[in-house]
Amino acid sequence: MSSTAHTHPAGSSTGGCDPGAIDELACIATGIQRRAEVAQEHLPQLREFQEEFNGARTRYTGARLAAKVDLDEAAATLGKVREQIRCRVGHEQRHCLAQAVDRVFDDIRRCAGGWGCCVDDCGCEFSDAVQPGDTVASLAARIARYTQDTQKAAACFTALEGEVTALPERAVKIKADAVQLLADVCDPVLGQDVVRLYARLLVLMRRIAEAFRGFATVSEFLDCLCRALLCVLKGWQAIAVLEGARAELMCKEETRRKACERKQRETVEEVMAEYTRLCPPCPDRGEPAHEDAADSEEAEPAPAAAS
């Protein structure tokens, strides 16, 4: 079914044949073909995302449990560090360091995109409706906007899926950094720079708190992953329909252009064809063909008056 409004040319009211119906059908077919091509182009990505989503609960649950073990051990190590250096750092220094950590992590969230779900409903509003006033240009603009939003949702899905491996690796790194910090605190030379050691302590404590990237539970993570998948699906569906409609309109514009060129090139023939449609010959009933003299004189143009 075509996505743009169509006329229904078959024969004119005068019984003439209108071969333009063939061009119309060809343009409809072009739109359908383009829609299918776009759908096929993005189907592999959707299949891949579907496969990943189906196994996400099991894999992410395992990753989260493994990470929690390392994070708990890291927190215990940092507790020992805090006991050893807290009294060696002044109250004002601790206060300033805490403020500095807050500001730096706020900056990190802004530049890294923040934590929590990376897709929202506002960025996933796609309409495949084609209005009578739509043009090739207006459809192209919507397609470009929808493509950008869909690709953003796809990137969100990929980043979330990457948490299955990134989360355990992140926890292992935090645990190793905590062990190294405890060793540095006990070092006779490195242990002298207590302000820097306390800054490292606060950074690691914040990294533990934000290790799960804003997802308090497995269900919250899976809900976000599902929303990202549905956003990608709705986006490519709408884009496929609009691409088909745009291809159909482009085909019709090209058909009109060629028809205009033909009329300019074969003007007399086009005039005669139009004349035949406007004034079709009467059927022959066997009556003698003659015209009333008065009618004949009236039909002929009057000669110009001599000056």
* pLDDT tens digits for range 52-66: 999 999 999 999 999
Q: Are 174 and 74 in contact (CB under 8 A)?
A: yes
- What is the per-residue pLDDT for 7? 45
Q: Decide if pLDDT at 303 tops 80.
A: no
Q: Name the β-bridge partners of 17.
A: 11
At residue 199, the 3 state secondary structure works out as helix
Pick 42 or 299 by higher pLDDT. Answer: 42
Nearest Cα neighbor of 252 from 127, 128, 134, 126 is 134
Q: Cα–Cα distances in Å, from 120 out to 101, 161, 173, 227?
A: 28, 17, 31, 8
Q: Are 105 and 214 in contact (CB under 8 A)?
A: no
Q: What is the C-alpha to C-alpha distance for residues 246 and 152, in angstroms, rounded to an integer?
A: 23
Q: How would you classify residue 288: left for phi > 0, otherwise alpha for psi between -120 and 50, otherwise beta?
A: beta
Q: What is the C-alpha to C-alpha distance for residues 98 and 198, in angstroms, rounded to an integer?
A: 10
Per-residue pLDDT tens over the stretch 210-224: 999 999 999 999 999
Q: What is the C-alpha to C-alpha distance for residues 170 and 77, in angstroms, rounded to an integer?
A: 16
Q: What is the C-alpha to C-alpha distance for residues 88 and 83, in angstroms, rounded to an integer?
A: 10
Nearest Cα neighbor of 4 from 162, 90, 129 is 129
Instruction: For residue 21, name the pLDDT band (cuts at 50, 70, 90).
Output: confident
Instruction: For residue 16, name the pLDDT band (cuts at 50, 70, 90).
Output: low
Q: Decide if pLDDT at 19 tops 80.
A: no
Average pLDDT over residues 146-165: 95
Q: What is the C-alpha to C-alpha distance for residues 73 and 77, in angstroms, rounded to an integer?
A: 6
Q: What is the C-alpha to C-alpha distance for residues 155 and 228, in angstroms, rounded to an integer?
A: 9
Per-residue pLDDT tens over the stretch 97-141: 999 999 999 999 888 877 899 998 777 999 999 999 999 999 999
Average pLDDT over residues 267-281: 85
Q: Are 234 and 153 in contact (CB under 8 A)?
A: no
Q: What is the C-alpha to C-alpha distance for residues 34 and 40, in angstroms, rounded to an integer?
A: 10
Q: Cα–Cα distances in Å, from 40 out to 44, 188, 209, 236, 251?
A: 8, 65, 43, 10, 21
The predicted model scores a pTM of: 0.76
Q: Decide if pLDDT at 10 tops 50.
A: no
Amino acid at 117: C
